[in-house]
Chain A
Amino acid sequence: MRSGPPASRESAQRRVDRIRAFREELAAIEEEGTAVLDEGLKRTIAARHDSLLAEFAARFDVDTSDQLRQLSWGMRIASLLGAAALSAAVFFFFQRIWGTIGTASQILVLAGSPLLALAATGYAARRERTLYFASLLGIIAFACFLLDLGLLGTTFNITPTRNALLVWSAFAFALAYSSGLRLLLAAGIGSALAYLAASVATWGGCVWSDFGDRPENFLLPGLLLFGVGAAGRHGKYEDFPVVYRLLGLLAILIPVFILSNWGAASYFSLDGKAIEIVYQVAGFLLSGLSIWIGVRRGWAEAANVGSVFFVLFLLAKFFDWWWDVLPRYLFFLVVGLLAVGLIVVLKKVRGLRRREAA
């Protein structure tokens, strides 16, 4: 466990949580009478913790109590909803005025709105440590940029190109890596994923906008994203790799799940049933691998996504085999027993891990 000075609000918050847990546990142990710390030592630790809490509160505006944490969650949700509503307001405002302004004004409004939103984001970031307003404005800036290129295309009748996805991705990444906002990182990763999948589609001779029609287009980009997340730390943003790994795994397992049920969507011109069987086997192996990696490396998101997809692959298989044959009560009984079996297996894995840790 790292105990150096925290570089971000998230790591400061984690340290605060550890301090609070330590204090609660110490109070419980003392109340049980198991052990009592020396008063002098207790005062030294308490003073150090108090100074850390004060420092983190001043520097990062961390939540030092449950009430503050609940309020923070409320503010996060409000800023997300506010960003969505304000982005929609910008969109409909543009729609409203679009026919009433000349071409030069249209260009100014289009290019100016994301720049203005960026300036506002920078201003808000300088004024507050928690970045609630900055994140709200950052999301609006991204929405304005989406609108900018989209409307530029329709206003000047430009042939749609996948390059727009690349620049949207660059914009979102630049904002995410300068602010630490995971939502913008997810927007950047999503745009990059779409761009890479569209590029794979065009290499296969397809129209770029049809990249979703061949789920295999997502496999390589998904692997690449997971690799970026698995490779290591991302500067001071310790929670960024999780987003890469999560979206990378989804970009692999969702297409495999689709292909395991709809072989005709594959690039391979083999019998659809044969393709489905190959992807069903691949689905079980990949989701199992995801659980294994998740458990080994302590990546909860990998273990959780792997578990969900393992169950989904199993359910799909059971559905194929037994939905038409078994009475409904028996079918759901089998599914229930499957869940129980999975709990038993995971419990055994947990026991093994606990012994390893000991």
Chain B
Amino acid sequence: MRRWGLVAAAAVVVLSNLVALLGVAWNRSGEPDAEIVLTEREAPLAWNQERESSAVSLRLEWSGPDLGPGDGTWFDEDKLKEIGFDTAVPPGASDGPAYYLRQLPRQTYVALEYEGDGWKRRLEAARRRVDEAKEKAAAGVEGSAEVEGARKALEWAEKTTSRLVAIDAGNDPGALRDRHPDRSRVAVVPAIVQASTRVGTPPREGVAPPVGIQGFIQSVLVSSIHVPRDLAATLSSIGLRSAPADPPRYAVTLRFGRRYEPWVVDIRPLPAP
């Protein structure tokens, strides 16, 4: 075995570790792009807390735009075009769905807002569904099971689901930050997005539903966030490795750096009600 090979391989190890760590230092230096306090609802323990692993990480829970075309979604045809998707084929064309299905996802940046208007709209929609179910039950169109289902969904949305909602996307993270300057509520993160056709809600009975192109967020690139050893001890003290609780048991402070990569800076237990 030649010595130069071992030296070259060792140099590759040292250099690549150095570059990666310098990147981490650069990300965490200076003023963070965002610092947001979330709860267990938005950052529960990651799924992979296995018996063989002592590492602890949190999973970033968020929800994307779920409104269909004609319902005022922000992730529409113009936004997809801006990101780089080809929207030449009308979505209602016979080959429209296949055309959009075969377009590969693209990497871009997404703005996630904590407890903002997007979240409030979701709650209102859930409340509306309860009212509608009640009205239909009163008119004898639906039964009490539908009312109960809508009520449970509302309760779930109010108390358990994440309040982190995607509100915008774009290829320029700086421009995205300019549009959403609240650094304590909005995080800009790299994400993978996809285009598809979607059938919206018909404006009234007897009218064909609108068919449009809509974007959806496939994944946020860094969705599992490592918890350093000293902060993991706080999680241990409040029941590590158990399912998310209602109400949330801890608050976690996340910082997003110059490269829009997050890290945990604090975890504190929340008082029991």
Contacts and interface: CB of A to CB of B under 8 A. Distances in A.
B221 interface: yes
Contact of B262 (A114, A155, A157): A157
Contact of A171 (B13, B55, B57, B232): B13
Contact of A152 (B5, B17, B102): B17
Contact of A159 (B2, B14, B106, B190): B190
A210 B53 contact: no
A208 B192 CA distance: 11
Interface stretch (B19-27, B72-80, B119-127, B197-205): B19-27
Interface residues of A, number: 56
Given A99-B232, A101-B229, A158-B23, A167 B5 contact: no
B181 interface: no
Contacts of B228: 102-103
Contacts of A175: 5-6, 9
A304 B157 CA distance: 60
A143 to B, nearest CB: 13
B20 A158 contact: yes
B199 to A, nearest CB: 22
Contacts of A100: 54, 229
A217 B156 CA distance: 44
A207 B104 contact: yes
A149 interface: yes
B152 to A, nearest CB: 34
Contacts of B225: 157
Given A99-B55, A156-B263, A205-B84, A122 B6 contact: yes
Contacts of A238: none
A122 B1 contact: yes
Contacts of A98: 53-55
Nearest to A98: B55
B24 A156 contact: yes
Contacts of B6: 118-119, 121-122, 174-175, 178
A122 B10 CA distance: 11
A51 interface: no
Interface in B259-273: 259-263
B222 interface: yes
A154 B17 contact: no
B62 to A, nearest CB: 15
Query: Which secondary structure dominates chain A's binding surface?
Result: helix
A157 B222 contact: yes
B160 interface: no
B222 A210 contact: no
Interface centre among A102, A156, A206 (most CB of B within 10 A): A156
Contact of B104 (A110, A157, A171, A206): A206
B79 to A, nearest CB: 16
Given A99-B232, A148-B17, A177-B5, A156 B102 contact: no
Interface centre among B3, B54, B57 (most CB of A within 10 A): B54
A159 B52 contact: no
A96 B52 contact: yes
A64 interface: no
B20 A207 contact: no
A345 B99 CA distance: 44
A213 interface: yes
A131 B1 contact: yes
B226 A157 contact: yes
Interface string A257-274: 000000010000100000
A160 interface: yes
Contacts of A78: none
Contact of B12 (A92, A101, A174): A174
Contacts of A97: 54
15 contacts: A96-B52, A99-B54, A99-B55, A115-B13, A118-B6, A134-B1, A141-B9, A152-B17, A156-B20, A156-B226, A158-B222, A159-B260, A160-B221, A178-B6, A210-B104
Interface of A: 92, 95-103, 107, 110-111, 114-115, 118-119, 121-122, 125-126, 131, 134, 141, 145, 148-149, 152-160, 164, 167, 170-171, 174-179, 204-208, 210, 213-214, 264, 269
Given A154-B224, A208-B107, 14 more contacts: A95-B53, A99-B229, A119-B6, A121-B1, A145-B13, A157-B225, A164-B16, A167-B16, A174-B8, A178-B1, A178-B6, A207-B106, A210-B104, A264-B102
Interface of B: 1-6, 8-10, 12-17, 20-21, 23-24, 50, 52-57, 84, 98-99, 102, 104-107, 190, 192, 221-222, 224-226, 228-230, 232, 259-263
Q: What 8 A-B pairs come out closest when comparing CB atoms? A: A178-B5, A99-B54, A125-B1, A174-B8, A98-B55, A178-B2, A174-B9, A206-B104
